[in-house]
Amino acid sequence: MAQSRREWIRGNLLASGALLAPAGAWRQSPGVKTAGGTPRMRLTFRPYTLQLKHVFTVAVNSRTTTPVVLTEIEYDGIVGYGEASMPPYLGESHDTATAFLSKVDLSRFANPFELESILETIDGLAPGNPAAKASVDIALHDLVGKLVKQPWYNIWGYDPKLAPVTTFTIGIDTPEVVRQKTREAAEFKVLKIKLGRDTDKAMVEAIRSVTDRPMSGDANQGWTDRQQALDMIGWLKERGFLYVEQPLPKERVDDLAWITERSPLPVIGDEGVQRLPDVRKALGVYTGVNIKLMKSTGMREAQKMLQLARGLGMKVMLGCMTETSCGISAASHLSPMVDWADLDGALLISNDVFDGTKVIDGKVVIPNRPGIGAVKLGARG
């Protein structure tokens, strides 16, 4: 039955061009019932494709687009917005998110404030699918914030003035392009450099030739030898780096712990830290964790990860995928409590559909608006 429904939805999406065109038609998850007079939550969603301003290259791949799914949860005339961003190498897609969201029946919950049990039920619908789950979590948080007329930083008790600066990411490229991108990123106080290839030192030296700003490095599991990785971290420290992400493949836990024990810079787990149970496992393996809504299944679990990491005395970084200002705004409400933010995802795309959290003078600025603070832009896409 599930298979036939998926095929039916896919057939409809293909017929509407939704799987081919950047913007798909809005779909409503099945099972929505209207109980006479009682407000019920209604989930709708549509595929959308983000266009990147530059070809984006990291250690494992290059790409020019990112598939996302935009969600809305409507309840009693109020709409909450959400998003799933799905870089292809993580395994989710328009198809998988559509299949997952088609199973979500919010009409069985009468009270949107029961975030905990609603999101636990949704998490249990299928394993995996963290971004699709995040798209429901974010829309539900946005809805609840709007219902109580408060931004999430107020609900959580965080001071938005403490929001940090964000890094701006420079992807792997030729020295000439890297120098140009560095000049264009003049507003940003910290640059994040994608590493993990044999061109690392040339990349760093090209950037250092045009700026003395602090930097962070992300090897994206691209280094292979632990001693060479440790030597490289020492070399990066001498060149003004603040921390490094994921020096080795996530499976090499013992080697990562060996590096972390000796590293002159904090070592942050990203690919190796997805959800809440991973934070505890990261203790002793990494200095800190990189929390992203698209890995954690959304704001609810991301905040728990933040609190657990803090309780364990670990550093916390807040990251993102390429996302619209919807996903970035949602993540930004956690930013006052983190050591480092990497929330440049919406700045890397040319077809954002939301206005929300901005970067001003390199600093994350969260709007004082209820919910996640993202407002839909006009009828673009």
Least distance from C-beta 145 to Mg ion, angstroms? 28
Q: Which is nearer to Mg ion, 59 or 79 (CB)?
A: 59
Q: How far is CA 74 from CA 131, 138, 152, in A?
A: 20, 13, 18
CA distance 193 to 239: 12
Least distance from C-beta 322 to Mg ion, angstroms? 13
Look up residue 49 and give its two tokens. 């494709």
Residues 6+ apart with CB under 8 A from 184: none
Residues 6+ apart with CB under 8 A from 200: 232
Q: Which is nearer to Mg ion, 136 or 321 (CB)?
A: 321
Least distance from C-beta 194 to Mg ion, angstroms? 9
CA distance 341 to 233: 20
Q: Which is nearer to Mg ion, 123 or 270 (CB)?
A: 270
- List, in sequence order, the alpha helices (H) in the chain: 2-16, 94-101, 115-123, 130-148, 152-156, 175-184, 200-208, 226-238, 253-262, 276-282, 293-296, 299-311, 325-332
Least distance from C-beta 347 to Mg ion, angstroms? 16
Q: What is the DSSP letter of 217?
A: E
* Residue nearest to Mg ion as judged by C-beta position: 270
Q: Which is nearer to Mg ion, 94 or 194 (CB)?
A: 194
Q: Which is nearer to Mg ion, 218 or 301 (CB)?
A: 218
Least distance from C-beta 290 to Mg ion, angstroms? 6
Place of tokens 């499976």: 251
- List residues binding Mg ion (CB under 5 A): 218, 245, 270
Least distance from C-beta 88 to Mg ion, angstroms? 16
